Amino acid sequence: MVPAAGLAGAVLVALANYAIQRWRYRLDRTAASVDHLCEELNDVADLSTTYWLLDASQHDSQLNAWTIEPQLLGRQMRLQSLVLALGDLDKKLVLTKTNMLLLEFYEALTGGDFKVAGRPASKEQAQRAQAVAAQLNGELRHAFSLRSHLWF
């Protein structure tokens, strides 16, 4: 009788440990993905700041702006893919506000003067891109915080 109770207890502890470790692994994987996405957002915001501080009315700056524009477009697509992958990775991670802020971020990156020859530098647009990136970082980390309090 004693060995059966000991064996049952060991099996129960092993199953509980497995469940907790699996939950912890899932959270760690989601946290790493959120960190990676936040790094990408910061990199794109920095590139956008560089772009918007260029005075495209100057010939040299206009050439630099033309080389940055395709990078910004490509990074927008990469960000969208990363957000979709994050949503698929953890279905309980609520990204509704993140998706709305992402649209605002895209607008801040490209603005109304994107691909316009001779546009002046825009400190306001550069600041807006940084501000929305900061909001996105905060929202992603908040969404993860809420998710981490849920079991399975």
Question: Considering the chain, what percentage of its residues have pLDDT values greater than 90?
Answer: 63
Query: Of 87, 94, 101, 100, which Cα lies nearest the Cα of 147?
Result: 94
Domain definitions of the chain by residue range? 31-148
Please report which residue ranges of 53-150 form alpha helices under DSSP H: 59-89, 96-110, 123-148
User: How large is the average pLDDT for residues 108-121?
Assistant: 81
pLDDT at 42: 97
Q: What is the pTM of this model?
A: 0.85
Q: In this structure, are residues 98 and 139 in contact, taking their beta carbons and an 8 Å threshold? A: yes
CA distances (Å), origin 64, targets 58, 61, 69, 71, 101: 10, 5, 9, 11, 28
pLDDT at 137: 97
- pLDDT tens digit string along 39-73? 999 999 999 999 999 988 887 778 888 889 999 99
- State which amino acid sits at residue 11: V
Query: Of 51, 72, 41, which Cα lies nearest the Cα of 123?
Result: 51
Which residues lie below 8 Å from residue 132, measured CB to CB, with a gap of 6+? 45, 101, 104, 105, 108
Neighbour-count burial for 35-64, b at 16+ CB within 10 Å, e otherwise: eebbebbeebbebbbebbebebeeeeeeee
